[in-house]
Amino acid sequence: MIYTHTPINFHFNKNSDNFFVEELPLYNFAHTGEWLMLKVRKKGLTTQEMIRKISSATGIKQRDIGYAGLKDKEGLTIQWISVPRKYRDAIHKFSDKNIKILEEDLHRNKLKIGHLKGNKFFVRLKKVMPSDAKKIFSLLKDMKKYGIPNFFGYQRFGKFGNNYEEGKAIIEGEKFIKNKMPRYSLLINIRAFMLERMVF
């Protein structure tokens, strides 16, 4: 289905008051295992910045901290991460004004990119006229019924839309990335996505 509604006017400022994302895990945790699963709420930090802070404060190597997806900096976000169980005491002592551990569990494997079912969003729009509000409610009903297309914008393809060229250079051995994860795999996946659809 193609949405052909007229423009909807509103004001949106992306910050922790108006934008909230909660990650939905791909599977239930086993409540046993060598990996400590942590439900973490962060504000004003990228996922990588959060990981660096936790690593620095607890002594856990960054590569040993698993996560399922990257979450926005400009917003209040909740996601799961995994750390080796042996660091439980260090995690319990961890404190940061922009990072709060909400829950913990145990599991048999480390979290990896893609281990998520999806994301739940809350978005607050302001200065919405009654006529625009009606359009929004109507559109939401259609979205619930028909879904919406997945959008691949600058977040995946880069500010100038040329991330796939970096992926191509990596595959062909013309470029080397020192810190391979997660940017390395993302660029390769973008290249594969483009090839699959023969977009270039």
What residues are labeled active site? 72
Structure tokens belonging to residue 154: 């600058």
What whole-number distance in Å separates Cα of residue 34 and Cα of residue 190? Answer: 33
Cβ contact 45:74 at 8 Å: no
Q: Which are the contacts of 43, defined by CB distance < 8 A and separation ≥ 6?
A: 16, 75, 76, 77, 98
Q: How far apart are the first and last CA of the chain?
A: 25
List 42's β-bridge partners, or say none.
Answer: 77, 99
Q: Which residues contact 104 (CB under 8 A, 6 or more apart)?
A: 36, 37, 38, 39, 91
Its sign, for the CA torsion 38, 42, 45, 47, is positive
Identify each DSSP E strand in 45-112 by its residue range. 66-67, 76-84, 99-107
The 8-class DSSP code of residue 86 comes to G
Q: DSSP class of residue 150?
A: P
Half-sphere exposure of 115 (CA within 13 A, CB side): 17
